[in-house]
Amino acid sequence: MPTPSALALTSTHAAPGDTPVSALPGVGPALADALARLGLERVQDLWFHLPLRYEDKTRVVAIADLRPGERTQVEGVVEAVERGFRYRPQLKVAISDDSLQTLVLRFFHFRRSQAEQMQPGTRLLCYGEVRQGPQGLEMVHPQYQRISGDEPAIVDELLSPIYPTTEGLGQKRLAGVIAKALALLPPDAQLELIPPALCAQHGLTSLRDALLYVHRPPPDAHIGQLTAGRHPAQQRLAFEELLTQHLSLKRMRAAVRRRHAPSLRGTGQLRERLLAGLPFGLTGAQQRVTAEIAVDIAQAKPMLRLVQGDVGSGKTIVAALAAIAAVESGQQVALMAPTELLAEQHLHHFRHWLTPLGVDVAWLAGKVAGKARQQALQRVAEGAHVVIGTHALMQEGVTFAQLGLVIVDEQHRFGVQQRLALRDKGADQGSGLVPHQLVLTATPIPRTLAMSAYADLDVSAIDELPPGRTPVQTIAISNARRAEVIERIHVACLEGRQVYWVCTLIEESEQLRAQAAEVAYAELSAALADCRIGLIHGRMKPREKQLVMDAFKAGELSVLVATTVIEVGVDVPNASLMVIENSERLGLAQLHQLRGRVGRGSVASNCVLLYQPPLGQLARERLQVMRETNDGFRIAEKDLELRGPGEVLGTRQTGQLSFRIADLARDAHLLPAVQEVGAYLLSHHPQQAEQLIVRWIGAAARYVHA
Ligand code: ADP
Ligand code: MG
């Protein structure tokens, strides 16, 4: 029920949602500051600040029924206490309950008084995440309270929502202020921004009810459904959030389209010479995509185009042709790649193709430092035609003379933000012109996802491989048969084939990855004494890496032991055998990328997926897909099914798509309707579309036009 002061507020403001949070009772400057740090400035920001998850303290679980990974509440009596100081202070408290099982509570930070409270016989009510410890199940730093006497522990009646928060703002206080904001929720008719007819058509339930439900699930709420995000109330909100994201990308695109870009018509002279010098002719798909790009960049409006093409489909030459048109028009080109090795490969190709034509190709990676960096920066500022590098290109202090075209390779490693940052490099050159943007991605993205994640881009597909490729034969072999695999490599080397041996350690540091590669290098060097073997990993200096790559390319090395640094872009057509260690740990997209390093020439190629048994269900399915198909598109769809879009788009790392409640994999079924409603809103109710963005994206959206 609205409090009297809350009612007073509604009468003084036309829309209660626009009321500043500081007007809520009990919100002083310090709290308002903390809320502002979360982007919560107006009452409606609080309505749409949704729980990340829920804690279920409504019941007590028997210790015997605990499962690792669960967050739950248990009640038990302290059996034993142990304080250790060996490496760092530690308090271990063993509790047990009627199920006669023991649970260890482990604390690394504790006050002495806290330790002294934990006398054997004390009853505790604890809440925390259960995990498998060295001596059985345990909870690290559980929340706990002592229960006095023989009274039963008092449990909560409602699930507790857990909100994203910030330092100095506890869950209780945040929940309190959200409750005050919810008291001001207007009736649906005022709250709803999607026209009622569309809501009815797509089965969208009341927004007001949905908000109240997710903030305060009733006692009978289905915790499993809520945790999975599949409750209709959550789905209602997810729909609106996806819709808003779609609208905001569309708006970003429209905003860019209103800017001006240099028209890159070119003269065609350098282009003719480049094409004449190539040892191959363009495929039909390459010609089509090149033509689409040429039409776009000839306009005085910025191009925003994504080129999708499977590994080996020949995106690099398409990018080079676009670059040439810019150079012919007197404009600069920036080419950005996600890893240094890939950027170096591009440098190599572009110099090979363009330097003979008198085009100046400069290099600017993060590791370029000191005097070399100064010189590179100066060349860029003075108008070097093409500048190739890593994300270092976007850093402060990099100024272009006239940047006309930005090419971003392997887009799935970059986020929208980074793309925008590079675009803005062009904008600060005083002319008011922004560069054209060409994005290359090797991961074919399922259509629904592409429309959602890249709603701001036009899409071209290079859907044809250069002629003469033979599909890679793939097999999966247990590591128990490692010796056989090594023998097979031996035979291949003696036949003059070239081999990649890829070491994969995914969650560890670059240093550990390098070590794993060194171990494999030593093992193979010993086993294949009559073969020449090279080693490449991310900890080597760029020059060392280049030397090794060059030697492998020139056929001086038979085997290249590598970390996943070779995952993208590396191109050695003669290599025809690849062994991937611990393949069961990699996702499909990554396996497909890696495998794409072979099968580039006309020789029949093989890929051996070495795995460590036993295989889990997911790993088994992944390896099966890899054996069945070389089609990147099918693999991407399967990947989406098995792992979810965060992985498909590689956005876990970049944080590109972070939703409050939506989850692209779980909610992909909503996307067709989202696109339909989005198109309708933009054409019939642009103002509502704008309000949705302000509602969901809040403070950040208000600065988009700045
Ligand atoms: P990706 O799309 O994976 O970036 P690349 O641009 O690296 O592919 O091209 C892969 C290989 O195919 C390179 O060796 C490239 O020179 C070669 N290539 C590209 N286009 C053609 C073509 N039309 N005919 C023959 N080979 C081509
Ligand atoms: Mg490439």
Cβ atoms < 10 Å from Cβ of 544? 13
pTM of this prediction? 0.66
Tell me, using a 6 A CB cutoff, whether residue 72 lines ligand 1.
no
Give the pLDDT of residue 607: 97
* Inside any domain, residue 534: yes
Helix (H, G, I), strand (E, B) or coil at 89: coil
Helix (H, G, I), strand (E, B) or coil at 555: coil
Give the pLDDT of residue 507: 47
Ligand nearest to the CA of 462: 1
> How many whole angstroms separate alpha carbon 225 and alpha carbon 223?
5
CA of residue 439 relative to chain centroid, distance: 16
Task: Please check whether residues 503 and 404 belong to one and the same domain.
Answer: no
Give 696's pLDDT tier (boundaries 50, 70, 90).
Answer: confident
49 versus 256: which is more confidently predicted?
A: 49
pLDDT digits (tens, 9 = 90+) for 409-418: 875 555 555 5
Final residue before a domain boundary, out of 131, 155, 179: 155
- For residues 117 and 146, the answer to whether their CB atoms sit within 8 Å is yes
Give the pLDDT of residue 5: 46
DSSP notation for 460-490 = EEE--PPTT--PPEEEEEEGGGHHHHHHHHH
Taking residues 602-617, report their average pLDDT.
Answer: 89
Q: Which pair of tokens denotes residue 204? A: 């969208």
For residue 500, give the H/E element and its range: strand 498-502
Q: Is the per-residue pLDDT at 599 higher than 50?
A: yes
Measured at the CA of 454, the angle between CA 451 and CA 457, to 5 degrees, comes to 105
* Inside any domain, residue 352: yes
Mutate to test the pocket of ligand 1, among 317, 574, 592 (most ligand atoms within 8 A of CB): 317
* Inside any domain, residue 374: yes
430 versus 621: which is more confidently predicted?
A: 621
Give the pLDDT of residue 450: 65
273: number of CA atoms within 13 Å, CB side? 13
Give the pLDDT of residue 693: 87
Task: Please check whether residues 299 and 354 belong to one and the same domain.
Answer: yes
- For residues 460 and 322, the answer to whether their CB atoms sit within 8 Å is no
pLDDT digits (tens, 9 = 90+) for 440-475: 987 666 666 666 666 667 889 898 889 888 889 999
Give the pLDDT of residue 13: 46
> How many whole angstroms separate alpha carbon 332 and alpha carbon 191?
49
Task: Please check whether residues 486 and 518 belong to one and the same domain.
Answer: yes
Task: Please check whether residues 484 and 458 belong to one and the same domain.
Answer: no
Give the pLDDT of residue 444: 62
Q: Is the per-residue pLDDT at 274 higher than 90?
A: yes
Average pLDDT value for the chain: 85
Torsion of CA 247, 248, 254, 257, to 10 degrees: -140
- The fraction of the chain above a pLDDT of 70, given in percent, is 88
569 versus 548: which is more confidently predicted?
A: 548
Cβ atoms < 10 Å from Cβ of 274? 19
If we measure between CA atoms, which residue out of 610, 498, 608 comes closest to residue 548?
498
Cα–Cα distance list, 459 to 417, 441, 452, 696 (Å): 19, 10, 12, 27
Output the CA 549–ligand 1 centroid distance in Å: 18
> How many whole angstroms separate alpha carbon 519 and alpha carbon 554?
25
Output the CA 369–ligand 2 centroid distance in Å: 26
Q: What is the CATH number of the domain that holds 144?
A: 2.40.50.140
- For residues 479 and 611, the answer to whether their CB atoms sit within 8 Å is yes
If we measure between CA atoms, which residue out of 285, 241, 274, 258 comes closest to residue 354?
274
> How many whole angstroms separate alpha carbon 182 and alpha carbon 192?
15
Q: What is the CATH number of the domain that holds 513?
A: 3.40.50.300
Final residue before a domain boundary, out of 574, 607, 629: 629
Measured at the CA of 74, the angle between CA 71 and CA 78, to 5 degrees, comes to 130
Mutate to test the pocket of ligand 1, among 280, 282, 346 (most ligand atoms within 8 A of CB): 280
* Inside any domain, residue 290: yes
Give the pLDDT of residue 12: 45
* Inside any domain, residue 179: no
Q: Is the per-residue pLDDT at 90 higher than 70?
A: yes
Output the CA 75–ligand 2 centroid distance in Å: 57
* Inside any domain, residue 224: no
> How many whole angstroms separate alpha carbon 621 and alpha carbon 611?
13
* Inside any domain, residue 43: no
Output the CA 280–ligand 1 centroid distance in Å: 9
Taking residues 608-634, report their average pLDDT.
Answer: 89
Tell me, using a 6 A CB cutoff, whether residue 390 lines ligand 1.
no
Task: Please check whether residues 504 and 443 belong to one and the same domain.
Answer: no
Give the pLDDT of residue 539: 83
Give the pLDDT of residue 702: 41
Task: Please check whether residues 103 and 146 belong to one and the same domain.
Answer: yes
If we measure between CA atoms, which residue out of 155, 132, 162, 124 comes closest to residue 70?
132
> How many whole angstroms separate alpha carbon 64 and alpha carbon 258?
64
Task: Please check whether residues 499 and 593 belong to one and the same domain.
Answer: yes
Give 16's pLDDT tier (boundaries 50, 70, 90).
Answer: confident
592 contact partners, CB below 8 Å, separation of at least 6: 311, 443, 626, 632, 635
Of the candidate ranges 132-136, 196-200, 471-475, 520-524, the one whose mean pLDDT is the lowest: 132-136
Measured at the CA of 293, the angle between CA 289 and CA 297, to 5 degrees, comes to 175
25 contact partners, CB below 8 Å, separation of at least 6: 3, 5, 6, 180
Give 353's pLDDT tier (boundaries 50, 70, 90).
Answer: very high
Residue 71's Cβ-count burial label (10 Å; 0-12, 13-18, 19+) is middle
Give the pLDDT of residue 588: 84
Give 506's pLDDT tier (boundaries 50, 70, 90).
Answer: low
* Inside any domain, residue 612: yes
Give the pLDDT of residue 649: 45
> Pairing relation of β-strands 361-364 and 436-441?
unpaired
Domain holding 130, by residue range, is 59-155
Torsion of CA 162, 168, 174, 180, to 10 degrees: 180
Tell me, using a 6 A CB cutoff, whether residue 282 lines ligand 1.
yes
Task: Please check whether residues 542 and 565 belong to one and the same domain.
Answer: yes
Give the pLDDT of residue 647: 46
pLDDT digits (tens, 9 = 90+) for 319-337: 999 999 999 999 999 999 8
Q: Is the per-residue pLDDT at 586 higher than 90?
A: no
Give 47's pLDDT tier (boundaries 50, 70, 90).
Answer: very high
246-266 CB burial, b ≥16 within 10 A, e <16:
bbbbbbbbeebeebebbbbeb
pLDDT digits (tens, 9 = 90+) for 123-181: 999 999 898 888 889 998 899 999 987 777 888 888 889 998 888 898 999 999 999 99
Q: Which pair of tokens denotes residue 56? A: 């279920």
For residue 361, give the H/E element and its range: strand 361-364
Taking residues 492-510, report their average pLDDT.
Answer: 81
The atom of ligand 1 lying closest to the CA of 318 is 6
Q: Is the per-residue pLDDT at 480 higher than 60?
A: yes
Tell me, using a 6 A CB cutoff, whether residue 593 lines ligand 1.
no
> How many whole angstroms separate alpha carbon 348 and alpha carbon 333?
16
- The fraction of the chain above a pLDDT of 90, given in percent, is 50
Task: Please check whether residues 366 and 508 belong to one and the same domain.
Answer: no
257 versus 195: which is more confidently predicted?
A: 195
Final residue before a domain boundary, out of 428, 462, 496: 462
Output the CA 310–ligand 2 centroid distance in Å: 9
Output the CA 130–ligand 1 centroid distance in Å: 51
Task: Please check whether residues 321 and 445 belong to one and the same domain.
Answer: yes
Tell me, using a 6 A CB cutoff, whether residue 309 lines ligand 1.
yes
The atom of ligand 1 lying closest to the CA of 282 is 23
- For residues 253 and 273, the answer to whether their CB atoms sit within 8 Å is no
Tell me, using a 6 A CB cutoff, whether residue 292 lines ligand 1.
no
Tell me, using a 6 A CB cutoff, whether residue 2 lines ligand 1.
no
Query: What total of structural domains would you count in the chain?
Result: 3
pLDDT digits (tens, 9 = 90+) for 216-242: 998 888 888 888 889 999 999 999 999
Task: Please check whether residues 381 and 528 belong to one and the same domain.
Answer: no
Tell me, using a 6 A CB cutoff, whether residue 598 lines ligand 1.
no
Taking residues 69-92, report their average pLDDT.
Answer: 86
Task: Please check whether residues 444 and 480 belong to one and the same domain.
Answer: no
Tell me, using a 6 A CB cutoff, whether residue 316 lines ligand 1.
yes
653 versus 156: which is more confidently predicted?
A: 156
Taking residues 507-511, report their average pLDDT.
Answer: 59
Give 652's pLDDT tier (boundaries 50, 70, 90).
Answer: very low
Residue 661's identity, in one-letter code, is I
- Residue 203 has φ and ψ, to the nearest 5°, of 65, 30
The atom of ligand 1 lying closest to the CA of 349 is 16
